[in-house]
Amino acid sequence: MTRTVEFTDTEFMIAQGARLMEDGKSIFVGWGIPQIVAILAQKLYVPNVVQLFEFGAVGPQSVLPFVRGTMGGPQNTFRSLQWLGMNWAFAYSASGYMDYGMLGALQVDPYGNINSTFLGGTFEKPERRFAGSGGGNQVASHCWRTVIIIKHEGRRFTPKVEFITSPGYLTGPGAREKAGLPRDTGPYRVVTSKALFGFDEKTREMTLLSVLRGANPEEVVKGMGFRPLFAREIAEIPPPTEEELRLLREEIDPSRIIIRGERMSATS
C-alpha cells in the first residue's frame, strides 16, 4: 500500500546517505551531518561498520540523542575500540584502512572537488569565510571512496570551485595520481537532498544516478551551476522509511535542530 510520506530535505539526505554504507567496512566520518548519517546507518543497516573520527575515536558508537556541539566528548566517542590522537587517526586513513570517507561541502564541482574555505574575492580578502578544511583534506585524499553530502542548492554546484579545500578528481582522469595522491582513491558518490550522483569511470565527471521518487531528473539538475552527465537509466530513490524517520526524530535528534529543513513529500 502506498502512502504519502512527509519529511525534510535534510532527513532525506541523511537517510539516503545511510543506505549507501556497507557493513563490515570502515568509514572516516566528517563533522556535522556525516555524524548523523553514520549513527543512523549503524543503528539500522550496518551494525559492524567501523567509524573513525579525526579527533582520535576508533570505532565509536554514539549515544543518543545526538548532542550537538560535541567534538570528542563522551557522547560521540562512546564505546570506541580505541582512543588516541589525531596523528594516529590520520595514520589509519593514510595506510589504506579507511574504505569510505564522508564529508560535507560548501561547494562542489563536476570533478568532485570540494570548497569549504571561502566564497567570493580572494583567499587573502574573501567575501565570505568559512571553516576550511579541518581534516577534510586528509579524508578526501586518503580514503578509498569519498562520499560528499551536500544540500541540493544550485549555487553549491559550480563549474569550478573557487578553492580546492579537499581534492576530488582535480582536473580529470589521472590528475590525482599525477599530483601524488594515493592511487585508486577519489570521490565516489554525491548525496544531495534531491538526488544521488556518481562519477563517470572514464571522464571522472559527476553523473546523475537517481532522484527522489516522483522527481523529474531534468527539474532536479536545472539550476545546478553545471550540467552533470546522466546515467543511462535514472533510478528512483524511495523517500525516508518510517523506521528511518522514527529513529531520526525520536532517538537521534528529538529537538530537531539538525534534521529540520525544507518540507518535501513523496509516495512510499
Candidate segments 102-110, 152-160, 166-174, 214-222, binder of other proteins by CB under 8 A: 166-174
For residue 116, the minimal CB distance to other proteins (Å) is: 9
Instruction: Kindly identify the residues of this chain, within the stretch 108-147, that bind other proteins according to CB under 8 A.
Output: 117, 121, 123-138, 141-142
Task: Calculate the CA 87 to chain-centre distance.
Answer: 23
By CB under 8 A, the residues from 190 to 249 that bind other proteins are: none
Q: How far apart are CA 260 and CA 235, in angstroms?
A: 26
| DSSP result, 46-107 | -TT-EEEETTTEES----SS--TT-SSSTTTTTT-SEE--HHHHHHHHHTT--SEEEEE-SE
The one among 45, 83, 97, 226 contacting other proteins by CB under 8 A? 83
Asked whether position 81 contacts other proteins by CB under 8 A, the answer is no
For 62, residues 6+ apart whose C-beta sits below 8 A from its C-beta are: 35, 39, 75, 76, 78
Closer residue to other proteins, CB minimum distance, 58 or 212: 58
The answer to whether 59 contacts other proteins (rule: CB under 8 A) is no
- Sign, CA dihedral 148-151-154-156, equals negative
- 84 grid coordinates: 588516541
Per rule CB under 8 A, is residue 28 in the interface with other proteins? no
Minimum CB distance to other proteins smaller for 45 or for 130:
130
- Closest by alpha carbon to 196, among 143, 237, 145, 140? 237
Asked whether position 65 contacts other proteins by CB under 8 A, the answer is no
Name the one range near other proteins by CB under 8 A: 36-44, 79-87, 97-105, 188-196.
79-87
Q: Interface with other proteins includes 16 (CB under 8 A)?
A: no
Contact with other proteins (CB under 8 A) among 28, 55, 144, 199: 55
- Smallest distance from the beta carbon of 167 to other proteins, in angstroms? 4
CB of 13 to other proteins, least distance (A): 21
* Dihedral sign from CA coordinates of 89, 191, 79, 75: positive
Continuous segment of H or E residues that includes residue 12: helix 9-19
Site residues (CB under 8 A) for other proteins? Answer: 31, 53-57, 63, 67-75, 77-80, 83-87, 90, 94, 117, 121, 123-138, 141-142, 163-167, 170, 175-176, 178-182
